[in-house]
């Protein structure tokens, strides 16, 4: 990667990934974009892009002569369930426009997938790289269709498409963006502010999680990997931690002993969570491009709490 366009750059992942990319590749080599007007907090080139506009991604990518598009613009799981038609339009038409732009310009395209592509008929523990994918949410359906489209554009047009199935991401830098795994981020915030939290996800509900620095490193590492070694052009399983709400609470209590956890389960988000894997097998990512997470649960908790104390 030498010159990169990031769509959805003001979202949870995009905010931090843009900063990281500029540190690695230089401010003038990373163009951030979102549907919103320019954000003064962004330090570098910025373009307003509505990804559902058929030509806008192409126009901006062509203007800056980028060699890579990182397409992050999407409506996340809980918000997608509330507005399924909006989710389909943004998530699918936006992706098609990104694919067409990348095809016309013959540039690399990164599209994140999600653990939401799995469903109730998928093996829940150590979910394989290749397995049954029958999602029951609009977001999961969008992401699975996106995986297939990326595979198709690679096979049909030779497009260099790359993706990873992201678990729940935990970060102190950006607020939660409407995802089912956001309870974990909220718990850290409330632990620092109030020493108590009421979880909308029920006890003993395990899901895959990852600290944002590991996710950012994984995206860059995969995009820099030798394409000849990549067996899967839809998305690679990656993960770092499989945890339930009580696991986060126990880890937090190591540093904040008075912290308490209660439950007030949101039936919609609980149903979504139960359709997702407990843990993923990410052997393929390790073998094909060297993926290896750095942060375990307690390392992540300490870093989150330290940074949130400063932030809050």
Active site residue ranges: 139
CA distances from residue 43 to 16, 27, 29, 31, 144 in whole angstroms, order as listed: 12, 7, 12, 10, 34
How is the chain split among helix, strand and coil, in percent rounded to 5?
45, 15, 40
DSSP summary character for residue 257: T
Confirm if 77 and 112 have CB atoms less than 8 A apart.
no
Q: Look at residues 251, 126, 274, 122 and name the one whose alpha carbon lies nearest to residue 204.
A: 274
Chain centre distance of CA 243: 17
Long-range contacts of 222-229, Cβ-Cβ distance < 8 Å, separation of 24 or more: 222/110, 222/162, 222/164, 222/285, 222/289, 222/291, 223/1, 223/68, 223/70, 223/108, 223/110, 223/162, 224/1, 225/162, 225/288, 225/289, 225/290, 226/289, 227/160, 227/162, 229/288, 229/289
- How far is the first Cα of the chain from the last one, in angstroms, to the nearest whole number? 35
């Amino acid at each position: 990667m030498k010159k990169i366009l990031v769509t959805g750059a003001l979202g949870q992942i995009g905010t931090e990934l843009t900063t990281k990319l500029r540190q690695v590749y230089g401010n003038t080599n990373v163009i951030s974009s979102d549907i919103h007007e320019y954000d003064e907090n962004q330090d570098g080139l910025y373009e307003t892009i509505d990804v559902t506009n058929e030509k806008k991604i192409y126009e901006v990518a062509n203007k800056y002569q980028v060699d890579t598009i990182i397409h992050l613009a999407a409506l996340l799981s809980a918000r997608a369930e509330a507005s399924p038609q909006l989710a389909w339009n943004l998530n699918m038409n936006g992706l098609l426009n990104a694919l067409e732009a990348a095809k016309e310009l013959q540039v690399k395209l990164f599209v994140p997938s999600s653990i939401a592509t799995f469903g109730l008929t998928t093996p829940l523990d150590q979910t394989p790289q290749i397995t049954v994918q029958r999602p029951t949410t609009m977001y999961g359906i969008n992401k699975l269709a996106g995986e297939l489209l990326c595979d198709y554009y690679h096979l049909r047009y030779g497009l260099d498409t790359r993706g990873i199935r992201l678990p729940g991401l935990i970060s102190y830098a950006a607020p939660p963006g409407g995802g089912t795994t956001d309870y974990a981020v909220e718990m850290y915030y409330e632990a620092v502010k109030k020493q108590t939290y009421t979880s909308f996800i029920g006890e003993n509900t395990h899901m895959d999680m990852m600290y944002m620095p590991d996710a950012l490193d994984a995206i860059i590492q995969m995009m820099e990997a030798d394409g000849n070694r990549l067996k899967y052009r839809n998305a690679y399983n990656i993960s770092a931690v499989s945890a339930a709400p009580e696991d986060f609470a126990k880890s937090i209590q190591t540093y904040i002993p008075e912290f308490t956890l209660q439950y007030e389960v949101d039936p919609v988000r609980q149903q979504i969570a139960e359709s997702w894997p407990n843990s993923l097998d990410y052997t393929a990512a390790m073998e094909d491009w060297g993926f290896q997470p750095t942060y375990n649960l307690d390392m992540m908790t300490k870093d989150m709490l330290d940074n949130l104390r400063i932030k809050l």
